[in-house]
Structure 1
Amino acid sequence: MKRTMLSVAMLALCSTTATFAQSDYQADSIFIRKIFNTALSEGHSYEYLRDLTQKVGARLSGSAGAAKAVEYTRDIMVKENFDNVLLQNVMVPHWVRGAKEKAYILSGKQKIVVPIAALGGSVATPKGGTKAKVIEVQNFQELRALGTDKVKGKIIFFNRPMDPTKLNTFEAYGGAVEQRGYGPSEAAKLGAVGAIVRSMTTRLDDFPHTGSLRYASGAGMIPAAAISTNGAELLSKLIKENPDTEIYFEQYSETLPDVASHNVIGELKGSENPAKYIVVGGHLDSWDFAQGAHDDGSGCVQSIEAVRLLKVLGYKPKNTLRAVMFMNEENGLKGGIAYADSAKNKNEKHIAAIESDRGGFIPLGFGVVGTPAQKAKIVSWTKLFTPYGLYELGPGGGGADIGPLGPQGTVLMELIPDSQRYFDYHHAANDTFDKVSKRELELGGASMAAMLYLIDKYGVE
């Protein structure tokens, strides 16, 4: 049975490859070379990113910065003469950090200030802050083994690092991030008064990396903050030396009523199938104390650039191409959900969606979520991408914002750049414009344009 299934899969791959081999490979190769040449010599994405990060700046959903980013990206696509530019209404959460957090460790006679950042969605500490003995744990099993008697009235310190041996840093992130997302509620269930979480990065530095938490219903909402990795190392050392070590922290965050915002959509209309769509996108929001250059300003400007490159090269798409700036990926995914709901309600057919949300680093390939035949067809184009350093088509998946389109039969894809430095900056104040390479950013936008071109020309079926 397994051998038969394998034979069928191989036949599908060979058939798809043969179909592509009969196409005008030379013409495709020449046009894709034009895409890359134009991006690298006349690209606009780097200057778009400069303005988005330095003139607009931080763009957390519900903020004035997010509203300004909507206007900025809309104006870019109007200026670039996209066929249609529109704003799609979406209601988003409005969490605010308030004044800068304060924290210090008390161990014996030592009082040491450490950098922290409230986790997105966290409640504030009581007036005057929270101070208590701190207990370090590596995972939820250790926490639960302590029991209510040992946890009640304490601050729980989740200190499991990202696994540095994982070459795929997103895999390392996935292996540690649940302590940030769910740790505060797990601690609250046992009576803890606060939670401190080691920042999600393999780098040792003084930047706290924020990110969303998810309070469990009925568990109680305790204040929670990320501590920098240097701070985490110090706190762990002091606890080992003195089990009575305490930590004090003060934060002022609150959740306000939801706010009206927008996804920003720019189109090149299809000449044959205008009611069928191929999307490239990134998320427009960023955390409130960061410029959000890699996460995800890069993805947004690469998406605009991908469509712009095809336009300036005179390509007339068969299907309608869309660049979509999704709002609210960081703390709610409301933009992605609203976009998919609108597509379903309007009975729009989305052939494929490509997201860039892994930073503006050098591109290595594309992840693909689809049927075996769809994957095989996309993999058959590998030869066209290898001259540009993209060797991996297939492994991986789609992005969070386009995920809600999956149940509608859309092929989901994600640009896969080198991941080794991404979590140095992820959700931290050092995610700034100067950390992005102009050339690497432009290569990513060109890669997305090339994939748009091939999907539009050949389809995915």
Structure 2
Amino acid sequence: MRNIFLALSFLIVISSCNKVKPAKQLAQTVNKADSITIKKIFNSALTNGKSYQWLDALSNDIGGRLSGSPEAQKAVEWGENLMTELNFNKVWLQPVMVPHWVRGEKEEAFFTSSNEKFNVPICALGGSVATQKDGVLGEVIEVQSLEEAEQLGEKLRGKIVFFNRPFDDALLLTFKAYGGCVDQRGGGAKVVGKFGALGAIVRSMTHSIDDFPHTGAMSYGDLEENQKIPTAAISTKAANLLSEKLKENPSLKFYFKQSCKTLPDAPSFNVIGEITGSEFPDKYITVGGHLDSWDLGDGAHDDGTGIVQSIEVLRLLKLNNIQPKHTIRVVLFMNEENGLRGGKKYAEEAKNNNENHIAALESDSGGFTPRGFSFDINSENYDLFMSWKPLLAPYGLHDFDKGHSGADIGPLKNETISLFGYRPDSQRYFDYHHASTDTFDKVNKRELELGAASMTSLVYLLDNYLN
């Protein structure tokens, strides 16, 4: 009896081992298959990529694409035509009304101190009102924060307020440095306008010390019309010089002139294309960037690179004969820069149509060397996402951090969707962000293509493993 028991035990052990081994082999096979597919994606992006030539057309043939402008409309037509030519299963335009602010004539600025005149590179901030026709001239009060300006209160009346808090160069994450300063640009006029200031100028949002002013959005909040004051950014070199001269002569006079204005909202579109899923056509994975840009440069890094990379994701899937299980949708969002109308409209329509979005990926951090992804996901998918690191690490994708995914996909957030932001190296991004230097020649072809392949690889994994 004991021998029979031992024999049966031995058979059970052998049987158990036979059951475990195929499962383990299957896991290894799946990982190997994924690794092979990702390698193919990178090979095709680097040897047969199209993103760089698309960016050339978007940047150089169309240029800066401020919401409501003729250039923005040309970009809409370009995106629709391109995705139609690429034979995506569906391509359509999603109407959205957008703000229409125009810069007008080139701005002028200078200050005088000890009978010496210093010309100042300057640009109006998006949404600002104009100065009076002959400009505005006044003494300057320098502040480092909105709180300091608020405390000065009535002392600001009749003055031009100069916000001069620089980026924190000790922060390795440049987006944190930007986040630590951008409230001056966005809310400076709102704070000082109510105290009767003549105008507000702000140090440009960049690490670089140069003579290129950086524009960007600002808001007056709930100020009365007569409290809205002209607001502009000056270059970092000019900011340093002005600060130095103010120490020598606190009563120096600053002059600036701008003729910008806000027109009635204009009709525009999100541009959408998709590949229909083979198993779950009613479940969506969205990838995108914003089609609009500021008007000073040609919007190559912000966010032309994100646009062409997002379109390339779908082309690379098709090129490698990868039929997605879920519907993969690319969205070229309109009006991220000064209103976020496109992102909000897309989320609104998705909700109205009861669309089930399981994941979204945004590229809006420039076209530099890939570093990884930020993510905003539920705990259920966290371990799954982190398990992909060994597959992506060979391509330089080491940084996987919880955090902001992207402004345009943010409105999609709910308890189940997984949101991701593509994260390239950011050390040079704010050299060009919102400045006239954001041009096609600043984008490296290989870096751009590596980014497109990185995004495609993540979308491939999301499609394979998310429910």
TM-score, scaled relative to structure 1: 0.94
Secondary structure of the residue aligned to 1:33 is helix
Moved over 6 A (4+): none
Structure 1 residue 157 corresponds to structure 2 residue 137: no
Structure 1 residue 303 corresponds to structure 2 residue 310: yes
Pick closer, same or farther for the CA change 1:408–1:254 going to 2, 3 Å. Answer: farther
1:182-223 per-position Cα deviation (integer Å, ceiling 9, x unaligned): 011111122101000000001001110000001121352100
Give the corresponding residue for 1:206.
211
Distance 1:278 1:196 in 2: 42
Give the corresponding residue for 1:3.
none
Pick closer, same or farther for the CA change 1:20–1:366 going to 2, 3 Å. Answer: farther
Structure 1 residue 222 corresponds to structure 2 residue 229: yes
Aligned-pair identity in percent equals 57
Give the corresponding residue for 1:318.
325
Q: Which one of 189, 193, 202 corresponds to residue 194 of structure 2?
A: 189
Distance 1:61 1:408 in 2: 31
Give the corresponding residue for 1:371.
378
Structure 1 residue 128 corresponds to structure 2 residue 140: no
Pick closer, same or farther for the CA change 1:233–1:36 going to 2, 3 Å. Answer: same
Q: Which one of 449, 459, 463 corresponds to residue 442 of structure 1?
A: 449
Secondary structure of the residue aligned to 1:412 is strand
1:33-54 per-position Cα deviation (integer Å, ceiling 9, x unaligned): 0000000000000000000000
Distance 1:273 1:448 in 2: 21
The 5 A counterparts of 1:407-426 are: 407=414, 409-426=416-433
Q: Which amino acid aligns with 1:126?
A: Q
Distance 1:109 1:61 in 2: 42
Structure 1 residue 47 corresponds to structure 2 residue 35: no
Secondary structure of the residue aligned to 2:414 is helix
Q: Which amino acid aligns with 1:132?
A: G
Give the corresponding residue for 1:59.
65
* Contact 1:93/1:331 (<8 A) preserved: yes
1:372-396 per-position Cα deviation (integer Å, ceiling 9, x unaligned): 2212211111111011010122433
* Contact 2:55/2:305 (<8 A) preserved: yes
1:319-373 per-position Cα deviation (integer Å, ceiling 9, x unaligned): 1101110000000000000000000000000010000000000111111101122
Structure 1 residue 398 corresponds to structure 2 residue 405: yes
* Contact 1:132/1:247 (<8 A) preserved: yes
Q: Which amino acid aligns with 1:290?
A: G
Secondary structure of the residue aligned to 2:283 is strand
Q: Which amino acid aligns with 1:441?
A: L
Secondary structure of the residue aligned to 1:211 is coil
* Contact 1:369/1:375 (<8 A) preserved: no
Pick closer, same or farther for the CA change 1:20–1:406 going to 2, 3 Å. Answer: farther
**CA RMSD of superposed structures (Å):** 1.4
Give the corresponding residue for 1:357.
364
The 5 A counterparts of 1:249-288 are: 249-288=256-295
**Number of residue pairs matched by the alignment:** 442
Larger displacement relative to structure 2 (392-401 or 374-383): 392-401
Distance 1:397 1:129 in 2: 40
Distance 2:146 2:341 in 1: 29
Distance 1:424 1:21 in 2: 45
* Contact 1:364/1:392 (<8 A) preserved: yes
1:292-316 per-position Cα deviation (integer Å, ceiling 9, x unaligned): 1100000000000011100111111
Distance 2:161 2:323 in 1: 58
Q: Which amino acid aligns with 2:146?
A: F
* Contact 2:189/2:229 (<8 A) preserved: yes
Q: Which one of 93, 100, 103 corresponds to residue 94 of structure 1?
A: 100
Q: Which one of 169, 172, 178 corresponds to residue 167 of structure 1?
A: 172
Give the corresponding residue for 2:185.
180
Q: Which one of 69, 77, 96 corresponds to residue 71 of structure 1?
A: 77
Q: Which amino acid aligns with 2:119?
A: V
Deviation (angstroms), 1:72: 0.7
Deviation (angstroms), 1:140: 2.0
Distance 2:335 2:300 in 1: 16
TM-score, scaled relative to structure 2: 0.93
Distance 1:165 1:306 in 2: 35
Pick closer, same or farther for the CA change 1:19–1:451 going to 2, 3 Å. Answer: farther
Give the corresponding residue for 2:147.
141
Structure 1 residue 104 corresponds to structure 2 residue 115: no
Q: Which one of 432, 444, 453 corresponds to residue 460 of structure 2?
A: 453
Pick closer, same or farther for the CA change 1:26–1:179 going to 2, 3 Å. Answer: same
Give the corresponding residue for 1:9.
none
Give the corresponding residue for 1:342.
349
Deviation (angstroms), 1:75: 1.1
Deviation (angstroms), 1:407: 2.7
Secondary structure of the residue aligned to 2:413 is helix
Secondary structure of the residue aligned to 1:182 is helix
Secondary structure of the residue aligned to 1:353 is strand
Deviation (angstroms), 1:397: 2.5
Pick closer, same or farther for the CA change 1:138–1:328 going to 2, 3 Å. Answer: same
Give the corresponding residue for 2:14.
none
Secondary structure of the residue aligned to 1:274 is strand
Give the corresponding residue for 2:91.
85
1:48-84 per-position Cα deviation (integer Å, ceiling 9, x unaligned): 0000000010100000000000111111111111111
Q: Which amino acid aligns with 1:127?
A: K
Secondary structure of the residue aligned to 1:325 is strand
Structure 1 residue 114 corresponds to structure 2 residue 134: no
